[in-house]
Amino acid sequence: METFDCIIVGTGPAGMGAAFSLIERHPESRILMLDKTPYSTGGMRNDCKMNFTFPIGFPLEYWDEDVADAYLDEVMKFLRPDILPKSNIETYQARATRLGCSLLEIRQTHLGTDGGLALIKDLQERLRQAGVVLALGETMTDIDNRAKTITTDKRILGYRSLLVAPGRQGFHFLQEVMQKLDVPYVDNIVDVGIRLETRIEHYPIVKDYYDPKFYFKEKVRTFCTNSGNAHVVREKYATARGDIWYSVNGHAFAADEKRNNGLVNFALLKTVRLTEPLASGQEFAEHLGMIAALMGGGRPLMQRVGDFRLGRRSKEATFNGDLYDFRPSLQGASPSDISLAMPSKILRYIWSAMKNLDTIVPGILHPSTIMYYPEIKLYANKPQYRDEHFQVAEGVFFAGDGAGTSRGITGAWASGIRASRGMEEYI
């Protein structure tokens, strides 16, 4: 059996942050990275828009500004981002403030899905050259922390310290690991919302600020704005019983005038915190996803704002009319009535946020704007951590979106570095 000083499960940004930090500070150590996909660097394959200002991407239960800033400095030094310029921010901020909303000014960069792929190739090559062993296409299936071994679909491996960073889609897997290690956890928070798609002229702020971060009342916020060559996509999820449902998401390719489709998409998300009697946010989200799948014939739903305002469902015809003048970038969605599928309280807050947004940046309520549902973020596993380095059991650490320590690429990278500082104790 081969034994490593550190094994890192997941080559997403959380795993990358840990690997680069460990190999830089301990070049002699033996480090193995595993990923179940044959390519991967996890979520950096999608859009690769990176935010470098607290609190974007940093769950407040684990981070304060000073700690996050210290790790963000390290992330910036490593990734050396070209921060995108912004303009007219004060005008939008003044309009938002008048309505009791806010617009956060943050440092961000955008590589695009294609730019992200080039970065991933470079990062993996640098790790290999530094001596890190990458085992792609290999899945961790089990753990025995007394014997300090993990089982994969190919072999048994020994570790001195282990980082498990499987991302949002590893949510169920992380819960299995926690049960095995007797780590108490709750998952009572979830983000539920819609994704809007419209013409850039109906949301022109994106020419001034690539991914504007608006905060509205009742914990509704804009999230993950994409424009230029921008597309809405669907992500497949399976419940523990194996039922399939879809969440929507969005991404864009790098700026290229020739391939620009003239569209913008972004999410409006409402954070839902479930309290007594404590329910699982994951199960709540799955039920919502299943209702949408039921109504959409197995697909996510879409509705034009024009139909929504009139209280009518959208139909195929709604996507061909003269007023409804652009084709949805996501072809695999069903024209429907999202108010039948979405809890009314969440919908009410989101609609209120849309009206506020239309006052701050007039245009978003154009009848042709498409509302896609559901967009759900399942990153709310909250394990009981033993220390500030996200250690859950002797020598075992978690990091990244699936473990609730981050909500985006830079936060995940920072949480990987933070976990690695605890792993160093075991080298």
Tokens 């919302």 sit on residue: 193
Smallest separation, CB 233 to ligand FAD (Å):
6
Question: Given the complex with ligand FAD, which of 21 and 40 has the nearer CB atom?
Answer: 40
Question: Given the complex with ligand FAD, which of 49 and 270 has the nearer CB atom?
Answer: 49
What token pair was written down for 41? 């660097």
DSSP code of 369?
P
Cα separation, 72 vs 148, in Å, equals 32
Site size for ligand FAD, by CB under 6 A?
A: 38
Q: Do the beta carbons of residue 10 and residue 165 sit within 8 Å?
A: yes
**Residue 40 found at the interface with ligand FAD (CB under 6 A):** yes
Three-class DSSP category at 56: coil
**Residue 420 found at the interface with ligand FAD (CB under 6 A):** no
Smallest separation, CB 373 to ligand FAD (Å):
16
What token pair was written down for 355? 């009206």
Contact range with ligand FAD by CB under 6 A, out of 19-27, 119-127, 164-172, 350-358:
164-172
**Residue 170 found at the interface with ligand FAD (CB under 6 A):** yes
Smallest separation, CB 79 to ligand FAD (Å):
12
Q: Do the beta carbons of residue 244 and residue 218 sit within 8 Å?
A: no
Cα separation, 365 vs 133, in Å, equals 51
Contact range with ligand FAD by CB under 6 A, out of 119-127, 272-280, 290-298, 400-408:
400-408
Longest Cα–Cα distance in the chain: 67
Three-class DSSP category at 99: coil
**Residue 59 found at the interface with ligand FAD (CB under 6 A):** no
Question: Given the complex with ligand FAD, which of 235 and 358 has the nearer CB atom?
Answer: 235
Phi, psi of 387 (to 5 degrees): -155, 180
Cα separation, 172 vs 165, in Å, equals 12
Show the site string, 206-235: x = touches ligand FAD by CB under 6 A, - = not.
------------------x--------x-x
Question: Given the complex with ligand FAD, which of 167 and 306 has the nearer CB atom?
Answer: 167
Pick the binder of ligand FAD from 4, 8, 33, 42 (CB under 6 A): 42
Smallest separation, CB 406 to ligand FAD (Å):
6
Cβ-proximal residue to ligand FAD, closest one: 43
Q: Is 311 exposed, middle or buried (0-12, 13-18, 19+ CB in 10 A)?
A: exposed
Pick the binder of ligand FAD from 112, 328, 374, 408 (CB under 6 A): 408
Smallest separation, CB 277 to ligand FAD (Å):
30
Contact range with ligand FAD by CB under 6 A, out of 36-44, 81-89, 293-301, 358-366:
36-44
What token pair was written down for 191? 């983000």
Q: Do the beta carbons of residue 132 and residue 397 sit within 8 Å?
A: no
- Pick from 309, 316, 306, 287: which is nearest to 374 by CA? 287
- Pick from 262, 261, 206, 202: which is nearest to 89 by CA? 206
Show the site string, 292-331: x = touches ligand FAD by CB under 6 A, - = not.
----------------------------------------
**Residue 140 found at the interface with ligand FAD (CB under 6 A):** yes
Please report, in angstroms and rounded to a whole number, the separation of the first and last CA atoms in the chain: 18
Cα separation, 215 vs 223, in Å, equals 10
Q: Do the beta carbons of residue 92 and residue 357 sit within 8 Å?
A: no
**Residue 173 found at the interface with ligand FAD (CB under 6 A):** yes
Pick the binder of ligand FAD from 4, 22, 23, 49 (CB under 6 A): 49
Binding interface with ligand FAD (CB under 6 A): 9-15, 34-37, 40, 42-43, 46-50, 139-140, 165-168, 170, 173, 224, 233, 235, 249, 251, 400-402, 408-409, 412
